[in-house]
Chain A
Amino acid sequence: MTAKRGLITDSFKVVKKARRGGKQDKRPTPPPPQKAEAEIETAREEELQKLRQFDLDCRFGPCTGISRLERWERAKLHDLKPPEEIRDLLLQTSDDPEYSQSLWSEYPV
């Protein structure tokens, strides 16, 4: 019994210390590379914003359930003149689901 109690309290303490330590570590570290990252972040945000605008353009039909590229290809097939830059952007970043999937992809159908 005593041995078990000891173990539990030990483990609780260790875990708490580790968590606090981890959080404290993370907070101070980000600032130095933040500038470079912030630029990447804003560029990424702009790109995603463009893609969201593409999603919301009702001329190209519904966007749920299909990938952005599939939707672009469909618009192209039906001669609706989807913007070429969207396709280039999607081809460059094809492995990132935040780019390839539509705005509503997180929602269950």
Chain B
Amino acid sequence: MFSDLSAQKEGSSLLSRPASEDQGPAVFERTSLAYSPCSERYSVGERNFGRQYAHIYAARLMQMRPLLSQRAKQKWGSDVLIRKLCDMQTGEQCCIVGTLFKRMELQPSILKEISEEHNLLPQPARAKNISETDELILEDELQRIKLEGKIDKDKCVTGSVIAIYGAERNDGKFTVEDFCTADLPLQRARPALSADRFLLLASGLGLGSSRADSMLGLQLLVDMVTGQLGDLGEQSGAATISRVLLAGNLLSQSTQDKDASTKAKYLTKKTQAGSVEAIRLLDELLLQLVASVPVDVMPGQYDPTNYTLPQQPLHRCMFPLSSVYPTLQLASNPYQADIDGVRFLGTSGQNVCDIQRYSSMDSHVEILEETLRLRHLAPTAPDTLGCYPFYLKDPFILEECPHVYFSGNAPTFESKLIKGPDGQEVLLVTIPEFSSTQTACLINLRTLQCEPVSFSAFSADEDEESEMNISH
């Protein structure tokens, strides 16, 4: 673990007598590693928004059907009857592959809001949009059928492709006895590394917010990585951090002022966008980092790039200071790369947050595991999550199993090692939002162990207490 590594050298503590001058300053060479980005599948070349989303669902089902038929045969025997909905007979035990659709009463709908007949107030924003009356429906190319039985409707989300086993009843509903997902794809073997090397993950820096309380922690993080903190032991530990990945929401939500879209142009002509100052801050921060270590920057929900997934890399022109360094890598969201032979895959967290809103699952790491089992990064896109209208194939279907699967902007740090049916081993990591938790995490590429690093000097509660003391 990183904490052991940097605390190894007892002798070179800061409390000891300074080393004699003729020794010269200690130099720690930063370990470098092989890096190859494999995010081509997440780059959108032509931008054609004239298509409907029917294509992405059709392509998803086309891609998943063979995988799921195979899994169904593994699970229920090779002689299992796999039917399409149109060929199915009432009462016949069979297996059906299709896309789930969950009809949710509480799902925000623009049509409901503008309907004059009801004259409703805008629906309040909810943390969860599920209710007792939700219905689960399975769709294939032609038809749909309501599902009942042994399937947890609160846990399922719209857009996931699954195989169900059971029979249709006389009333036209399908009684599910069992179901299966596509599960983890095959994984390449991880190369054995000789030395400990670390990758630092952070997300949700939240620059440009009105509260600047995360700035001290952020500066500490930068100083720790660049080796300007602590004694020689800690500095030599910092040299083993060979890459930094910033997973989205580098800017705070408050930089997206809604005034610009609602106010008249002539009133806001002279006001500068909130993101301008924040980007300048980010550029200066990145400059400190990239001068010392390679950095990958992923965009997130509040960052100045396109809103729909896959988000394209932030433009270089926004970083006049840091973009001259070859160590700055502006990446897409979702992100995929081979780092020293370890396959990383992850997002800035939009997919996970959206599933949290439309299912009973709360833990981000549990949702991550669920998406991995479904073999789909963002099943709720395009239903409740913005997504580019692909037609040829669905790029969010996992074709290769990653070794590390992460998502950013989680409320807390969590990690879990899961095992797949074919011996796959995947480390799931949720990267906490830095601005609220002051925590980043370090992954050891050799052992795939993960630990949080916290930079907070004061917790929020203590702050409140000290304020109260002042008022006394």
Q: Which A residues are within 8 Å of any B CB, using their own CB?
A: 58-59, 61-62, 64-66, 70, 73-74, 77-80, 109
Contacts and interface: CB of A to CB of B under 8 A. Distances in A.
Given A70-B392, A73-B392, A74-B391, 5 more contacts: A62-B55, A65-B55, A66-B55, A74-B62, A77-B392
A35 B66 CA distance: 51
A78 B51 contact: no
A65 B391 contact: yes
Contact of B50 (A59, A61, A80, A109): A109
A17 B393 CA distance: 59
A47 to B, nearest CB: 24
A66 B142 CA distance: 20
B58 interface: yes
B58 A61 contact: yes
Interface in B53-79: 54-55, 58-59, 62-63, 66
B52 interface: yes
Contact of B52 (A59, A64, A79, A80): A64
A78 B391 contact: no
B51 A58 contact: no
Contacts of B141: 58-59, 61
6 contacts: A59-B141, A61-B55, A62-B54, A64-B54, A65-B52, A74-B391
B391 A70 contact: yes
Main SS at interface, chain A: loop
Contacts of A66: 51, 55, 391
Interface of B: 50-52, 54-55, 58-59, 62-63, 66, 141-142, 391-393
Nearest to B141: A58
Contacts of B142: 58
B59 A74 contact: yes
Contacts of B66: 79
Contacts of A64: 51-52, 54
Contacts of B392: 70, 73-74, 77
A83 B55 CA distance: 20
Contact of B58 (A62, A73, A79): A62
Nearest to A71: B391
A65 B59 contact: no
Which of A59, A64, A65, A79: most chain B CB closer than 10 A?
A: A65
A97 B54 CA distance: 23
A109 B66 CA distance: 31
Contacts of A77: 392-393
A61 B142 CA distance: 10
A61 B52 contact: no
Complex A-B, nearest 9 residue pairs according to Cβ-Cβ distance, in ascending order: A61-B58, A65-B51, A78-B62, A62-B54, A74-B392, A66-B391, A58-B141, A62-B58, A65-B52
B59 A78 contact: yes
A77 B391 CA distance: 12
A59 B51 CA distance: 19
A74 to B, nearest CB: 5
B315 to A, nearest CB: 29
A61 B52 CA distance: 12
Contacts of A58: 141-142
A62 B62 contact: no
B394 to A, nearest CB: 11
Nearest to A108: B50
A64 B66 CA distance: 25
A38 to B, nearest CB: 37
Contacts of B62: 61, 74, 78, 80
Nearest to B66: A79
B58 to A, nearest CB: 4
Contacts of B51: 64-66, 109
Nearest to B63: A78
Contacts of A61: 54-55, 58-59, 62, 141
A61 B99 CA distance: 14
A79 B55 CA distance: 16
